[in-house]
Each structure stands twice: as C-alpha cells, then as structure tokens.
Structure 1
Amino acid sequence: MSSHASEPSKLSRRAFGGVVSASATAAALGASAAPAEAAPHQPRESQERPFRAAAGRHAKRPNILFILGDDLGWADLSSYGAPHIKTPNLDKLARQGVRFTDAYSGSATCSPTRFSLYTGRYPGRTKGGLAEPIADRSVGLDPNHPTLASLLRGAGYSTALIGKWHCGYLPDYSPTKSGWDEFFGNFGGALEYYSKLGLGGEYDLYEGDVREGDTEYKDLRYYTRILTERAGEYVRRDHGGKPWLLNLNFTTPHWPWIADGDEAESAEVVRKIKAGDARALFHTDGGSVEKYTEMVEDLDRSIGQVLTALKETGQEKDTLVFFASDNGGERFSYNWPLSGNKASLQEGGIRVPTIVRWPARLDGGQVSHEPVFTPDWTATLLEIGGARPDKAFPLDGTSLAGYLLRGERLQERDLFWRVRGERAVRRGDWKYYRGKGGTDQLFDLSADRREQADRAADQPKLLAELKAVWEKKDKELLPYPS
C-alpha cells in the first residue's frame, strides 16, 4: 500500500499544516471556484482548506435538503474541473461547505443507488435493489422496510420527496408508503420534460399517489421549472417548528436531451413515443455536448433558486444541504480523468460530485479526500437527525458525523460494489476491480485515478485479500435472478 493509505483520517492530520494560509486564500476567492490562473482542466484544490471538523460547536437538529442530480458526471461542475460548464451556484455551495473528491454512489445506475440511500444498505439486500435499474412493476422498495424518511419522521421530522422516485410503481410502491409525508414527481426512471410521458408512454407526474391531471389539470411546463417551484414552496412553508427532510430529485441532466425552450425537439420525441417507439426517450439520435452543457447549467440555476429560498426565509444556517449525482455521467458527460461511465464500476461510473454545507456546524472552503459512498450519508443523517436505525435492518454505511462534526478520525474500511458482471472494492487508495471481461485488476488510485496501471502482478497478496473481501460480502446478498 502507499504510505498514507493506511493512516486513518489522513486529512485530519494534514489539516494542522498550512491550514492558515490556505484558509486565507480560500476566503479571498470570488464567484469562481476555479480562478483564472488555475490549470484549465483541474479544480484549484490548493486554494481550498483541507478538511478539519469544527469541533465543539453546537446547533439544533438541522433541516435536511438532499439534492440529487441525475446521471451527472464527476467533473461536470466547474468546481470539479469542467472547462466548458459554468456552475456558479454549486461552486458557491462548495466554497461555503465541504467538497468531497472521492465520494461514490451506492451503485452505477439510478434505482439501486436510490435504494442504497433510502435504506442505508447495499442494493443487493433487497429484491428491488437487484434491478439495475427498475424497468417494470414487479419490484420496488418494500413499504415495510425502514427508510431514511420513515426513521427521521419517527424522530419528529416532516418529510417530502419532490422529483424522481424510481423505486417501484403503484399500487404497491410509492414514497408515501415508505415514510415520506408528501410526494410530487415521477415514478419512472425517465420522462419527457414537457409532456411528462414516461418510458411506457404513460403520463408520469403525480401528486401523492394520484396522477396529476386525473382530477384537475396537467402541468406541461418544463419539468425542472416545476420541481424548482415546488421545492421553493416547500422550503418557504411554515412547518410548525418541526425540522424537515426534503429529498429533491431532479431528472436533469438525464436523457432525453431537451433543455428549457426546446418545444420543437420535445414534440418530435413525443411523436415517436405515441407512434410506439419504445426507445424514443433514450434519444440516441439527439443531444450534443452543447445541449448537455445547457441542461447542467440550468440545473445549477434551479438549485440556486432553492438555496435563495432557504436564505430569504432565515433557514440557511440551520439547514444541512447535500448535493450529489445518483451515479456517474452518461454519453455527453465530462468525466476526465476517470475511465468508464454510468453502469460501470470503473471510477467514471460511480465516483460522483458531492458537496455538503451546514453553516451552523461546518466551516466553509474545505475539501475532503476521504473515500465515502451513498449508504454513509444515510447513517450520517440519521445520527445528526437523532433517529435510531432499526436493528432488524442493520446499515451498511458508516456515519460520518464524528468525522464531520467532532474531528474524529475516519477509520479505514472497505467500500463494496456489485453490479451484474462487475465487482469492486476500495480500501484506502487501492481498488480491486473485475469488469465484464473477467480479469481481476488492482489500481492505486492515489497515483492512477484513470485506472490504467494494473498493479495486480506486483501486489498479489493484496489482490487476493480484496477479492476475498468481495466474495465474502457477495455471499451475504441476494442472488441476481437468472
């Protein structure tokens, strides 16, 4: 192993060296997270403070605004190195909180990651999590399984989910059956942004468990506008003194590649859907880097509007805001220098941009290189929100509350992933990976984020150890259906 890989919470140690000068530089940053003198394809990490918890602070239980982008690549934000995409609102959020460079999704596609977030467990613990992703009505998130929302609601939180659910369909599965007091959004994995037609050609915009339009009207405005409006309304609402959890799940920048104002392209996709083209929403004949850029920048503006609502209502200080993508980027995403993309367990398929801000407890302008993944955030938010996990459904994530808030060292542990035909384990800087070709590989990510220098031959003992870790964990999980 590399010399620093075995050190627990290596950034907590580094924080004591150079933090004063680094913080002074970070405080002087303007609106751009990557100053003009920075290398064009790299975020200026040297101007951010290494992570150090603000130990000793106390605050009331926070509101939790948990925002997910959809199929957003690791480097699709300007604060993560995108040379052509401008994301000033998310860059500002990073400057005000902690930006994670080595954060991962719970899986490589949409619905399994959402299962891992809502349950705090590996997707393979549940039947619904084996679908990669859910594409029919046969499986979903069992309403009897405790969730982030149900546990926080039991601890006194108001709960809402706005946007993409993708954890099962009615009549058996829905957010309101799994702990969320309110739901407004779509059930499926994708929808056309204006018509709201889903992968099966059905209208997929719901208010609770009632399809919107069945009783009153259909909202045919651009979907990102509608979700942003709804989220703003929820934030501005009087919650009667109760803390709240809002899962805000945008579909942007998931295909189809339709930006706000693209009514003509929308009409063409709708025409194909109504003509029976089952793959129309995949939009394989549309999109471009420029269109994708437009969608990501619109997502950034939309998030900025929701953050403005927090500030204007005086809730900014006491709201923990989390932002990430549900998995790696798709075909127009900017993932450099990572290899692979969505659906792969290479870094580009599971490493995601991740930002956390909580002004009452976390100092801004910080960067953490600790490896973390989706189930960790479930455990973290439950601890911060004062909710106890259900002992019958033990969590697979590790709470980061001690690391973030009390300056505790984050002990080295193994992060595990499984998708059909691929496997991966990360321990410290090392990653064991087997792709669909069946070859076991070992990479030192501290020196080779692109996963091109296979170290399996000169580290056979470590390779065997991590392979055994993966196979032992795999035996605990449900088998994939044949």
Structure 2
Amino acid sequence: MTFTLNRRTMLAAAASTLAVPALARASSKRPNILFIMADDMGYADLSCYGRRDYETPQIDALARSGMKLMSGYANSPVCSATRTALITGRYQYRLPIGLEEPLAFRDMGLPPEEPTLPSQLRKAGYATSLIGKWHLGAAPKFGPRLSGYDRFFGIQGGGADYFTHASGRGHDLWDNETTANDHGYLTDILAREAIAQLHRHAADTRPFFMSLHFTAPHWPWEGPDDQAESARIAAAGEPAAIFHYDGGTMASYAAIMRRLDEKVGEVLAALGQLGRADDTIVVFTSDNGGERFSDNWPFSGRKTELLEGGIRVPLIVRWPGRIAAGSESTEQVMSMDWLPTFLALAGSAPAPERPSDGMDVSPALLGGTLPIRPLFWRYRHLDQSACRMGDHKYLRINGNEFLFDVVQDPLERGNLKARMPDIFADLKSRYSSWNESILPFDPESFSYGFHAKDAADRFGVE
C-alpha cells in the first residue's frame, strides 16, 4: 500500500494556503507570540490531559480558552535536539548539534550564522527574548543573543539545581552574558523575569516574540520546599545537579508541577493585565516525553525512547477570537512546524537557503485539517528509528522492527508488520530515503541511554 494524493489531502493543502490570509483578516495587526515550553513533561502530566494525583488549574484554564492538540509531537525524545528543530524549523539531524545529547562533552552549539526563528522574526520587525533554558551551546562561541534573541535571562546548560542554580558547568544563571546572582526557586525566578520582560515588550511599539523555557519538571527532584535536598546535592558536587538519578518521589514531582502551573498562571495574568492577551498567540508544550515520575498514558515509553511516550507531548494553543475556545484537534503538529507557522503569521517566510522541514499548521489551529505527511525520528541509543504517516507508525529498536496503528493501539502492543506488509514496507522505505538526506551519526557523539535495561526487558534486546 502506498499513500497517494486524495480529496482530503487536496482540500487540506488548499486550506493551508488560505489559512494565513484568513487569520490576517481576523486581526488588524501581527500577533505577539508567547511560546512556553516545559522540560521533560509527560503527555498526561497536566490534569487536562489526564493526570490524576494532582491538578494544574492554570494550564487547564489555558486549554479551556484555546485548543488542545492531541497529537502534538516533539522532534526528539531528548531536549537539545528538539530545541534545535524548534529554533531552526528543520530536522535537527541537518546540523551536528542535533546529533548530540547532552551538550556537555564537546565544544558544540548552534552556529550563530544559522537562520533561526527569533532572528527571522527580528528581521520581520519583532522584539525577541528568551527567558529560561537555552541548551544550544555555551558562551562565548554560542548563545541566545548570537542566534536572534535581543535579551536572554536563564541557564545556558541542560539543567540546574532549583535553589543554587548550579549545573555541571558551575553556576549557570545569566542575565544576557553577565552572571545573575538571584536567590530563590528557579521556576519562580524565571516567571518573575518573564513578567518583567512582558512589561518591557508592552512599552515597545514592535510586536514581540518571547520564548519562556522553564526548566521544570526536569530533575533534580526539588519542589519549592526542598532546600534540604538541594543542600544534599550541593554537598555531593555540582555535577549531581544534572546527573541526578537517585532522588525524587511522586510528592516532590507533584510539588514541582504545581509550582510550574502556578507560575504559568501568573505570567498569563500579567499578559492580560497589560492588555495584550487578545493580540497574543500563546503556545504551551514540552520538549520531549516525560521522565521517571511522569504520566505518559495512554502511551508506553518515555524520554530517550521513540515509543509514543518519548515523543508525544501536551500541546495547547490560545489566540482569542481566532482559535475556538475549548476546541481539540487530532492533527499531527511537530516542534519544527512553529517556525513556518509563526513566520507566516508575521507576514514573513523561512530563509530560502534554509527551507523548513515543517509546515504552517494554521489550518489545524482554525479547526481544519493538514495534509497527510510522513514524520521522522532517529535516536542513536539502541539504534532507534521511527516514521509516522496517517494512523500508522514504523518503529525500529535495536534491530527489532514494528508496525503500529497508534490511533487504535496507542500503547504500541500489537505488531502489524506481518498483517500489513505493504504499509510496513512503504513506511520503512520512506524512512530509509529520508535517512539518506540527513547527516549520518557522528561516531564521537554522545546520546543519553538512561533506560537501556527497561528497553531490553520490553523488547528482548541486550
């Protein structure tokens, strides 16, 4: 079986070309953009997506006032790779930085000359800022302000202690290129700085693009009252803040999530108080699937795995008067789609020398459909490969191959490889062709492999 152009695909393609003018007609000016990204949040870690042991009322309210997308995907099951795709609008494997995770062992980063979402929006007349996690290469060779952000406040690395703000590279809290010595819980500090930055943007005549990249709920497992745990980690040495495997409880995770929810609510309230809510498109999502205390139901797998639990993420979008309140969509939207989408809303387009691998997903936000397309993933640990197209997904893990209907079988339990050989062969062939178009794995690159034993147990590999 092969996928051919059909009436649904043709109509969706037509809707895609008409969507931006329709959105432009609905607004007298270009929208502000507030992109909020959590770190290692599982698909069902929000109560509006199914979490049962705590509630997230502020983010739930955001979902009620906008659209909840049920097939939101991260470009990778780990964070810096997804962030590369988000900021470039392209598969991360087109750049050496996209092959490596974490960025702790080699001097590597996002090349400053690479066109990015903030740099292209800035060319289109937007004020740009990043509050929170960068994780795309360390200063002085790399950094947010070398890649299109006018202002940066946050951490450069992959994670930091919530209280000491230390990571494997030492103290890691920055105001632009200057060390920031703010005291307090990191989630609170980032929310405070985001609100201050919203006030700065409100005083500017330009539309704004703010990336608010929280570190929560990434480890270390420290809620706002866990100073003692922070002290224990500090006594163990700075690297423990990022390589923190032994701590945490369900209660500490719930505390991290509740505080994150509370602070997202405060940022959104500030946006409203400044009179900017109606002309701002707000996106809330995660950089990859959840970690050990996450709820990824109804999926299996988690961070570092190409099972749905490692790459399916919560995705909420609000734009009052344009996106229907309380709506849902099952259209497949991926991290790299936001660059062409936001640029289209800004009246711009991706740099011609770096065409986006994503698509403008405005039709889905308006309640319509998107063209059927293949989506691809690759992860070095356990030689993982995946391709989803329509309802079906090809998956390879350490030499074992599968075909799943991820709509009817979201747990990925029933291997349809023998029942549907044509679809299996088609998706495998599509993956192979795509894989030839990107960079090969770097033999010196490093990839997380936290869950090798779990994967071995599930898939019978060693």
Tell me which amino acid in the other structure corresponds to 2:229. E
Q: 1:82 aligns with which of 31, 51, 65?
A: 51
1:60-99 to structure 2, matched below 5 A, reads 60-99=29-68
In structure 1, the residue matched to 2:216 is 252
Instruction: Indicate whether 1:426 and 2:388 are aligned.
Output: yes
Give secondary structure in 2 for the equivalent of 1:8.
helix
The whole-number CA distance in structure 2 between the counterparts of 1:239 and 1:419 is: 44
Q: Residues 328 and 256 of structure 1: is their aligned pair in 2 closer, same or farther, counting only changes over 3 Å?
A: same
Give secondary structure in 2 for the equivalent of 1:184.
strand
In structure 2, the residue matched to 1:122 is 91
Give secondary structure in 2 for the equivalent of 1:107.
coil
Deviations 1:350-403 (A, max 9, x none): 000000000031121100001111111221111111222111111000111244
Moved more, 59-68 or 129-138: 129-138
In structure 1, the residue matched to 2:162 is 193
In structure 1, the residue matched to 2:78 is 109
Count of aligned pairs between the two proteins: 430
Moved more, 128-137 or 91-100: 128-137
Deviations 1:21-73 (A, max 9, x none): xxxxxxxxxxxxxxxxxxxxxxxxxxxxxxxx989633421110000000000
Q: 2:191 aligns with which of 228, 237, 243?
A: 228
Q: Residues 236 and 80 of structure 1: is their aligned pair in 2 closer, same or farther, counting only changes over 3 Å?
A: same
Deviation for aligned residue 1:191: 0.5
* Contact 1:164 1:251 (C-alpha < 8 Å) held by counterparts: yes
Deviation for aligned residue 1:106: 0.8
Deviation for aligned residue 1:408: 5.5
Deviations 1:396-442 (A, max 9, x none): 0011124434x66411111111111111111111111111x311110
In structure 2, the residue matched to 1:262 is 226
The whole-number CA distance in structure 2 between the counterparts of 1:266 and 1:259 is: 10
Moved more, 165-174 or 239-248: 239-248
Instruction: Indicate whether 1:374 and 2:369 are aligned.
Output: no
Q: 1:454 aligns with which of 407, 410, 415?
A: 415
Instruction: Indicate whether 1:411 and 2:371 are aligned.
Output: yes
In structure 1, the residue matched to 2:304 is 343
* Contact 1:149 1:179 (C-alpha < 8 Å) held by counterparts: yes
The runs of 5 or more residues in structure 2 that have no matched partner are: 13-21, 444-462
In structure 2, the residue matched to 1:210 is 178
Give secondary structure in 2 for the equivalent of 1:370.
strand
Give secondary structure in 2 for the equivalent of 1:232.
helix
Instruction: Indicate whether 1:288 and 2:249 are aligned.
Output: yes
Tell me which amino acid in the other structure corresponds to 1:400. V
Give secondary structure in 2 for the equivalent of 1:94.
helix
* Contact 1:137 1:168 (C-alpha < 8 Å) held by counterparts: no
The whole-number CA distance in structure 1 between the counterparts of 2:26 and 2:348 is: 20
Q: 1:165 aligns with which of 120, 134, 143?
A: 134
In structure 2, the residue matched to 1:400 is 361
The whole-number CA distance in structure 2 between the counterparts of 1:355 and 1:384 is: 17
Give secondary structure in 2 for the equivalent of 1:441.
strand
In structure 1, the residue matched to 2:447 is none
The whole-number CA distance in structure 1 between the counterparts of 2:337 and 2:225 is: 38
The whole-number CA distance in structure 2 between the counterparts of 1:444 and 1:7 is: 22
Q: Residues 75 and 188 of structure 1: is their aligned pair in 2 closer, same or farther, counting only changes over 3 Å?
A: same
Question: Aligned Cα RMSD in Å?
Answer: 2.1
Q: 1:389 aligns with which of 344, 350, 366?
A: 350
The whole-number CA distance in structure 1 between the counterparts of 2:313 and 2:384 is: 18
1:359-370 to structure 2, matched below 5 A, reads 359-370=320-331
The runs of 5 or more residues in structure 1 that have no matched partner are: 13-52, 213-217
* Contact 2:73 2:312 (C-alpha < 8 Å) held by counterparts: yes
Q: Residues 440 and 273 of structure 1: is their aligned pair in 2 closer, same or farther, counting only changes over 3 Å?
A: same
Q: Residues 139 and 268 of structure 1: is their aligned pair in 2 closer, same or farther, counting only changes over 3 Å?
A: same
Q: Residues 205 and 91 of structure 1: is their aligned pair in 2 closer, same or farther, counting only changes over 3 Å?
A: same
* Contact 1:269 1:281 (C-alpha < 8 Å) held by counterparts: no
In structure 1, the residue matched to 2:450 is none
Structure 2-normalised TM-score?
Answer: 0.89
In structure 2, the residue matched to 1:22 is none
The whole-number CA distance in structure 2 between the counterparts of 1:54 and 1:80 is: 27
* Contact 2:128 2:150 (C-alpha < 8 Å) held by counterparts: yes
State the identity as a percent: 45
Deviation for aligned residue 1:255: 0.3
Q: Residues 176 and 126 of structure 1: is their aligned pair in 2 closer, same or farther, counting only changes over 3 Å?
A: same
Give secondary structure in 1 for the equivalent of 2:377.
strand
The whole-number CA distance in structure 2 between the counterparts of 1:470 and 1:432 is: 8
The whole-number CA distance in structure 2 between the counterparts of 1:293 and 1:56 is: 42
Deviation for aligned residue 1:9: 7.3
Deviation for aligned residue 1:285: 2.2
* Contact 2:280 2:319 (C-alpha < 8 Å) held by counterparts: yes
Q: Residues 290 and 9 of structure 1: is their aligned pair in 2 closer, same or farther, counting only changes over 3 Å?
A: farther
Moved more, 236-245 or 287-296: 236-245
